[in-house]
Amino acid sequence: MRAWTIGRIAGIRIRVDWTWSIIFVLVTVSLAVGYFPVVFPGLSAGVYWGLGVVSSLLLFASVLAHELAHSLVAIREGLPVESITLFVFGGVSQIEEEPRTAADEFRMAIVGPATSLVLGGIFLGVYLALLPASGPAAAVAQYLGIINLALGAFNLLPGFPLDGGRVLRAILWAPPATCGARPASPLWSARASPSSSSSPASPCSSAATF
């Protein structure tokens, strides 16, 4: 992937692939032209476009938070994390080793959707706190609450490459298993398509979907 490093968080490189711009434009346009004018009518076109841009940036931050949660738990479990890359389908955490135990995999998998669900609850709480006002802040909070709850729920579906598939495998993975005692899984993915790596260690990638 052709991606640019935009910074580091907790020593993890944060990268943005050029394809993310596609999602940024599509989300911004759909919100400014379709969603916000219908849900919160009566505002100016400039306000709608501003809301679209702000919401897209906060969506970016929400996906990053989902991926960062996976990566921070992986680091706590002693697994090296190379980077987090955001791209057209969401995000992927480049974790250089497989989880060593079922408990490690469960914690690493569940924390992403849990983060999205918590964010969704916070944003909806802000939206409800702002009612009965229907201004720009309420519009953005409502959208981000809905999208984060949907993101968390979708990623809990019990199928690969979603986080829910990892959770299910961890539950079915009988201890004391080790990484070498089960089939290697090339990626952690929740909304992202699998990618390959030429490194000896099998990478795990985790992606949040939106």
Residues carrying an active site annotation: 67
Please choose, from the candidates 205, 165, 187, 210, the residue with its C-alpha nearest in 3D space to the C-alpha of residue 67. Answer: 205
Task: Dig out the tokens for 40 from the structure.
Answer: 């919160």
The backbone torsions φ and ψ at residue 84, rounded to the nearest 5 degrees and listed phi first, read: -120, 125
Edge-first strand order for the sheet with 90-95 is 3-9, 12-17, 81-87, 90-95
Which three-class secondary structure state does DSSP give residue 139? helix
Write the DSSP symbol of residue 89: T
Write the DSSP symbol of residue 181: G
Q: Is the separation of the CB atoms in 85 and 68 below 8 Å?
A: no
Largest Cα–Cα distance in the chain?
A: 61
